A = this chain, B = another copy of it.
């Protein structure tokens, strides 16, 4: 992992001990797919980061300085994952101790995860529910204990992901991906105005294929003709199994993957063409 850390525009050796990110999760992050030395969705990621900063009333680093450092870190022209973390900065003790401070920010480069299972993901239901908090819904903030708890419900290789519901019982997403549900030829995805994250790949699907946002129950998901998970690092991933319910590959999923691959060259369909 290569890392660069800054206080405002000044490089620093490590996160300050009194950083509000460490104290309170008082920050935002973006996890971006690097492809041949570039970040094809950087504009979308920066847009969500800006929305998050406005909602949390915190500052962002200078965009040009961030982009310069990204280019330098990807100068080998390679692939991988680039994570940008921005906190409100180092401040005094207490929730209010953030007057006149500059953001701490960090870029780290990571290798790609192994490719997803070629025949589709095996997904389970999580018991952990997400609390309803409209003030934090949609943005990618650093208060992620709910996701940590949900992901901690299983270990080992039997399951690839888990679906989570909110405390009212509505389906929200997977622990680190959004969910799309196909029914009667239409893709739908849970709303993210009460909890959940407005994923970057989710946004692309909503704009591109005329999918819609909806309130979805467990039954809606179980009755689907096809399910996919979406995420900015791994693209569109078909679900082969949810608990003991299985789905064969669906042509609409393959069509979605083809359209994404045409826009974002990193995302060639991961599944076996022979299965479609």
Say yes or no: A22-B24 contact (C-beta < 8 A), given A131-B132, A143-B143.
no
- With an 8 A cutoff between CB atoms, is A222 at the interface? no
Give the contacts of A1-31 with B (CB-CB under 8 A). Answer: 1, 3, 5, 13-27, 29, 31
Bound Cα distance from A150 to B13, whole angstroms: 32
Return A78 CB to nearest CB of chain B, in Å: 17
B24:A5 contact, CB within 8 angstroms: no
Report how many copies the assembly holds. 2
Bound Cα distance from A23 to B84, whole angstroms: 10
B81:A25 contact, CB within 8 angstroms: no
- Chain A interface residue number, banded: 35 or more
- With an 8 A cutoff between CB atoms, is A85 at the interface? yes
Q: Per a CB cutoff under 8 Å, which of B1, B29, B56 touches A145?
A: B56
Q: Per a CB cutoff under 8 Å, which of B92, B95, B131, B152 touches A147?
A: B95
Give the contacts of A127-146 with B (CB-CB under 8 A). Answer: 128-133, 135-136, 141-146
Return A253 CB to nearest CB of chain B, in Å: 24
Q: Fill in one digit per residue for A18-57: 1 if any B CB lies within 8 Å of its CB, else 0.
A: 1111111111010100000000000000000000000011
Say yes or no: A149-B96 contact (C-beta < 8 A), given A13-B14, A167-B132.
no
Q: Per a CB cutoff under 8 Å, which of B14, B94, B136, B176 touches A17?
A: B14
Residues in B with CB closer than 8 Å to A108 are 17-18, 93
A3 and chain B: residue at smallest CB distance = B17
Bound Cα distance from A22 to B99, whole angstroms: 20
Most chain B beta carbons < 10 A, residue from A25, A83, A92, A176: A25
Most chain B beta carbons < 10 A, residue from A3, A13, A150, A152: A152
Residues in chain A within 8 A of chain B (CB atoms): 1, 3, 5, 13-27, 29, 31, 56-57, 81, 83, 85, 87-88, 92-96, 98-99, 106, 108, 110, 113, 128-133, 135-136, 141-152, 155, 167, 175-176, 195
